[in-house]
Amino acid sequence: MPAVFHKTARMLTAWSESGKVYLTDRLVRMGAKALKPPNEQEPKLRILHAATTLFSQKGYDATGVNEIAKAAQVNKALIYYYFENKGAILDSLIHSLMSSIYEITISFANDCLGTMTKDGSLVIEEDRFLFVNHKAMEDFTAKLHRYYKEVVDYTLDNRAIVRILLFESLKGVKHESSLFRFMELMEKRLDDPLYRTVQIGQPNFNYHEATVFYEFFFSIIPLVGIAAYYDEYQAKSHLSDERLRELALQSYMAHAQMNNVQKFFVAES
């Protein structure tokens, strides 16, 4: 298990030293509500903030580097000091978003899936979760719900970047495949810490193709859609942010629970 964290730490250290992710991670963690940085913040963070706002509101193609520089209150040359081009800014935002979601997921996998499969209280067979008893299933479900809440909250907090990701994926250009990076969470790769964690105690484990299809189109895409159209829906419905988030989580959890009923089984009679 320590190897997982060591590898993750090395990856983050390498990216931080290159200066490409550290500030972006900060921007993503700050969330959509923090998209009003004071002038004294780091120039790179202001550039990322300005790009996120403009890309989300106008679209990537319709936004120019001059506009980003003006909104960030920096010289255009400074943007090219930090980023090779406009595409590199978007690459940085998308990479940071996906890295953070991956970290949330691997944390759940380590704390829950890895522990339970290792001690034998859970066996995963393709799309079936077999628990040793009802208590094991209840404990797993409680942790799974906390994971769902963290994912939903994070996605909504960063809906500006999710919105960009969705719209760019539909254009058939460079970033069209970015949305499919969510499928990396369900890939069988021996060099992937997440897959190795789930594989503990069951070396023949594999993600069933039906599970991957269902999770992408009926779990990931709906959540992306909620985040992308969150602000427009709130404007039309006049719901408070608190109430809208509550509805989003309730709906997501209800759908997940219906799906889990078909996949969760208890071994004891």
Q: What is the pLDDT along the chain (269 residues), one digit of tens a residue?
A: 333 333 333 333 333 334 444 445 544 544 444 444 445 568 999 999 999 999 999 999 999 999 999 999 999 999 999 999 999 999 999 888 988 988 898 888 888 888 898 898 998 876 788 999 999 999 999 999 999 999 999 999 999 999 998 888 887 666 667 787 777 766 666 566 566 665 555 556 666 788 788 888 888 899 999 999 999 999 999 999 999 999 999 999 998 888 888 889 998 65
Task: Say how many CA atoms lie within 13 Å of 112 toward its Cβ.
Answer: 21
**pTM for the whole structure:** 0.77
How does DSSP classify residue 31?
A: -
Strand partners, 128: 125
When divided into structural domains, the chain yields a total of: 2
- In degrees rounded to 5, what are phi and psi of residue 190? -65, -20
Q: Which of 39, 65, 87 is the last residue of a domain?
A: 87
In angstroms, the CA 119 to CA 133 distance is 13
- Residues 6 or more apart whose CB falls under 8 angstroms from that of 118 comprise 200, 201
Residue 236: C-alpha distances to residues 230, 231, 232 (Å): 10, 9, 6
Among candidate residues 29, 56, 87, the one where a domain is terminated: 87
User: Domain containing 46: what range?
Assistant: 2-87
Q: Do 148 and 61 share a structural domain?
A: no
Indicate whether 206 and 117 sit together in one domain: yes
Last-in-domain residue among 87, 119, 139: 87
Clarify whether residues 201 and 249 are in a common domain: yes
CB 211 within 8 A of CB 259: no
CATH code, domain carrying 39: 1.10.10.60
Same domain for 185 and 262? Answer: yes
